[in-house]
Amino acid sequence: MSRDGSSSGPRQLIASLLTRPTESQSGQPALPVPEASAAEVIATAQRITRLGPSAEPCSPTPQPDLLRLATALVVDEHPSASSWSAADRGALSAWVAVLIERRGEDGVQHLIRALNRV
């Protein structure tokens, strides 16, 4: 158990996933959204991140672990990700990581719903 009383199992699992080298896999992306430009997806992520209750200025300054998580589970899984520049992928990863930090899985689900409406 950790100091806050929670099990360390999930944290260890996430840490092990983040430290593994990424494997390139062929096939369909896992994120259930339509193809879109990087600018469109970044703008949507920014808008959703700014909807939160936080009054602090909103700029993407994510925690490194959340940045890797956002890249692996959201950005890399977007069906258009392979056509985006490294800079665009990095910018989107930063915004998604901040979204995860502020709103957790609910933030990611809100992003997916918003991208499906665009």
CB 60 within 8 A of CB 94: yes
State the Cα–Cα distance between residues 64 and 45, nearest whole angstrom.
18
State the Cα–Cα distance between residues 84 and 38, nearest whole angstrom.
6
| Most confident region among 21-30, 44-53, 54-63 by mean pLDDT | 44-53
Can you tell me the mean pLDDT for 48-66?
A: 74
**pLDDT score, position 86:** 96
**pLDDT score, position 45:** 94
Which has the higher per-residue pLDDT, 25 or 68?
68
Neighbours of 85 (CB within 10 A): 9
State the Cα–Cα distance between residues 67 and 96, nearest whole angstrom.
8
**pLDDT score, position 41:** 96
Over the chain, what is the mean pLDDT? 82
Q: Which helix (H) or strand (E) holds 11?
A: helix 9-19
**pLDDT score, position 24:** 52
**Taking the chain, what is the end-to-end CA distance rounded to the nearest angstrom?**
43
